Amino acid sequence: MTQYRMTSAAGTFCYIDPEYQQTGMLGTKSDIYSFGVILLQVLTGRPPMGLSHYMENAIERGTLPELLDPTIPVWPIEETELLARLALKCTELRRKDRPDLATDILPVLNRLRAIAEANMQHCHMGAGMGSPSFVSSLASVPDFTGSESGLTSSGCESSRSRSTS
């Protein structure tokens, strides 16, 4: 693992690796921490301060839907919880407890992408994102590992979803 020593932090407090704040040493998993905070913000639409704590409590109490960004009308709960748990792993305080990008994070993101593409293929919204040409164009986009992504999800629709309407 390559580590770098910097004399001053470049970034916003809530996104900076806690171990960097203590040691001044950056590593590859320092970016994983920041990525996890950003994922939590995408899911909730909230500022980063204390967000991992709120998310962990919401998952434990079964109140995840209440914490999710209310501007999104429908959340596929199973997939959303999978992404939330990944984000929480990314925001572990100790670097050694954070997931590896290639072996842990990318497979989950590719799985979620395949599920989303399969769901889009089944949408019949007319001309927009559910249109066959749009879905076909997504099917040929390389996945995060650089290989062509086929629509190979075993379950294309979540059994549960959250609706705010």
Q: Is the pLDDT of residue 120 over 60?
A: yes
- In CATH terms, the fold of domain 1-93 is Transferase(Phosphotransferase); domain 1 (1.10.510)
CA dihedral 103, 88, 37, 18 (to 10 degrees): -90
Task: List, for residues 59-111, the tens digit of each pLDDT value.
Answer: 999 999 999 999 998 999 999 999 999 999 999 999 999 999 999 999 999 99
DSSP string covering 2-14: --EE-SS--S-GG
Amino acid at 143: D
List the chain domain ranges. Answer: 1-93, 100-153
Strand residues in 99-163 grouped as ranges (E): 162-163
Arithmetic mean of pLDDT, 120-125: 69
pLDDT of residue 101: 96
Tally Cβ neighbours within 10 Å of residue 23.
13
* Contact between residue 14 and residue 8 where contact means Cβ atoms under 8 Å apart: no
Length of the chain: 165
* pLDDT at residue 75 in the model: 92
* Average pLDDT of the residues in 25-47: 94
**Where do we find the tokens 């809530």?**
14
Mean pLDDT across 123-140? 44
Q: What angle do CA 148, 90, 2 make, to 5 degrees?
A: 80
Cβ–Cβ < 8 Å for 48, 14: yes
Give the span between the Cα atoms of 70 and 68, in whole angstroms: 6
pLDDT at position 149 over 50:
no
pLDDT tens-digit readout, 2-25: 665 655 555 677 888 888 888 888
Q: How far apart are CA 117 and CA 112, in angstroms?
A: 9
Q: Nearest 5 degrees, angle CA 152-CA 147-CA 132? A: 50
Residue 143 has pLDDT above 80, yes or no: no
- What lies within 8 Å, CB to CB, of 108 at 6+ separation is 82, 83, 86
Question: Are residues 95 and 17 in contact, defined by beta-carbon separation less than 8 angstroms?
Answer: yes
